[in-house]
Amino acid sequence: MNINWNYPTTVWVGEDRSTEIGEACKLSKIKNPLFVTDKDLVSLPMTINIINKLKELFNELKIFYNFSGNPIGKNINEGVEVYNINQCDGVIAFGGGSALDVGKAIAFMCGQTRPLWDFEDIGDYWKRADETKISPIIAIPTTAGTGSETGRASAIINEETGIKKIIFHPKFMPTIVILDPKLTIDLPPRITSATGMDALAHNLEAFCAPGFHPMADGIALEGMRLIKKSLSEAVKNGKNLEARSDMLAAASMGSTAFQKGLGAIHSLSHPVNSQFNVHHGLSNAIFMPYVLTFNKKEISSKIISICDYLDIEKSFEKFLKWIMDLREEFQIPHKLSEIIDKEKMDLEKLSQMAFEDPSTSGNPKKLTKEDMEVMYKHSISGELF
């Protein structure tokens, strides 16, 4: 079944919808696109197939792929140079969260005169941009995790400081999103589970964030239901297109919902991602139970609401058990120290970075730098709160 949505942007959903990229470009008035993907994807058969078909529509299709996971500012600058030299007029961003973030950032920065870091998600920094110079974006995710295709920001590491920054503008939102489950069927179980846990973290933290945003709450609840229904199946049977579609939808929903806010799961993850190149979904999955138990008093009633909707026995402990069982099923390490040598972790530095992360303000319990260090220590020892 092919379906078109218009929230929060135009979304085309269904098998083989990736064959409609040319039509998406036409509707977006893109005549000379820059195709942005990453080093790992560019040589895969599915990517080569899409590129070859696009070359039939665009005689001199330009391709940029000089980056991998956890992209840095230099990657954006290089992409902008390729974009401008070739007089491109739009971006086709194809891949996981990194490729989508890079593609969106190139489309944003191609007409700006200020440096990338001047548009960090702080106050009204986004107003510094000349929004008339932001190019249209077609986003096609090949993983179901970050939901960057429906997000108004890109996560980029400032290589000079080693800090992951969130670059924001309302017009970062792609013009058209294509969710084609066939593009995700070859994802290995390890990546399927890690990206799926990332989507869960987005929906979960958005729902638990303080404040009044009933639309975000409703989206987050349904996103978690789809994850409970289909993540395990997608991991076990990657060719189940219904499960893959559910997970793509849940990922997009998580990104839509977290405009309400995120929390300490992400605050703790971002420094680890930038300092140790750890996959973002994996670190979110590791930190999840520590943050949940740290926030227990503040979120217990919301967790009960989640249990009610997800048909889990209504208690904080049963919800936590569901999370722990998922981690065990997917062979996700319980402790951060299982993937990073604790002797290499500068907890003082990591805690300061986590405290200053923009996600910190959305945590249900007000946080201090000391709280961050305590949570890091628990994640290293494996002891829940």
Q: Among residues 183, 213, 236, which one ends one of the domains?
A: 183
For 91, the 3-state DSSP assignment is: strand
Domain containing 296 equals: 186-381
Which residue, 5, 8, 9, is CA-closest to 17?
5
Specify whether 43 is located in the same domain as 138.
yes
CB 98 within 8 A of CB 38: yes
User: pLDDT digit of tens for each residue in the chain (385 aa)?
Assistant: 788 878 899 999 999 999 999 999 999 999 999 999 999 999 999 999 999 999 999 988 999 999 988 999 999 999 999 999 999 999 999 999 999 999 999 999 999 999 999 999 999 999 999 999 999 999 999 999 999 999 999 999 999 999 999 999 998 899 999 999 999 999 999 999 999 999 999 999 999 999 999 999 999 999 999 999 999 999 999 999 999 999 999 999 999 999 999 999 999 999 999 999 999 999 999 999 999 999 999 999 999 999 999 999 999 999 999 999 999 999 999 999 999 999 999 999 999 999 999 999 999 999 999 999 999 999 999 999 9
Q: Got the DSSP string for 144-181?
A: SSS-GGG-SEEEEEETTTTEEEEEE-GGGS-SEEEE-G
Specify whether 215 is located in the same domain as 82.
no
The DSSP 8-state label assigned to residue 94 in this structure reads E
Specify whether 217 is located in the same domain as 271.
yes
Phi-psi region of 331 (alpha: psi -120 to 50; beta: other; left: phi over 0): left
Counting beta carbons within 10 angstroms of the beta carbon of residue 377, is it exposed (0 to 12), middle (13 to 18) or buried (19 or more)? middle
- Mutual orientation of helices 296-310 and 189-208 as an angle, nearest 10°? 120
Q: Got the DSSP string for 36-56?
A: E--TTTTTSHHHHHHHHHHHH
CB 306 within 8 A of CB 200: no
Specify whether 156 is located in the same domain as 236.
no
Q: Among residues 117, 149, 183, which one ends one of the domains?
A: 183
Specify whether 135 is located in the same domain as 214.
no
How much is the pLDDT for 1? 77
The domain spanning residue 319 has which CATH number? 1.20.1090.10
How much is the pLDDT for 227? 98
Specify whether 211 is located in the same domain as 151.
no
CB 229 within 8 A of CB 200: no
How much is the pLDDT for 38? 95
Specify whether 267 is located in the same domain as 170.
no
Specify whether 218 is located in the same domain as 76.
no
Length of the chain: 385
The DSSP 8-state label assigned to residue 309 in this structure reads H
Neighbour count for residue 328 (Cβ, 10 Å): 10
Neighbour count for residue 49 (Cβ, 10 Å): 12
Specify whether 173 is located in the same domain as 303.
no
Written as six digits, the tokens of 59 are 């005689």
Total domains in the chain come to 2
The pTM of the full predicted model, rounded to 2 decimals, is 0.95
The domain spanning residue 117 has which CATH number? 3.40.50.1970
Specify whether 128 is located in the same domain as 238.
no
How much is the pLDDT for 41? 95
Whole-number Å distance between alpha carbons of 224 and 232: 13
How much is the pLDDT for 94? 98
Specify whether 224 is located in the same domain as 298.
yes
How much is the pLDDT for 165? 94
Q: Among residues 131, 158, 183, which one ends one of the domains?
A: 183
Whole-number Å distance between alpha carbons of 208 and 326: 20
How much is the pLDDT for 242? 97
Specify whether 170 is located in the same domain as 190.
no
List CB contacts of 123: < 8 A, sequence separation 6 or more.
Answer: none
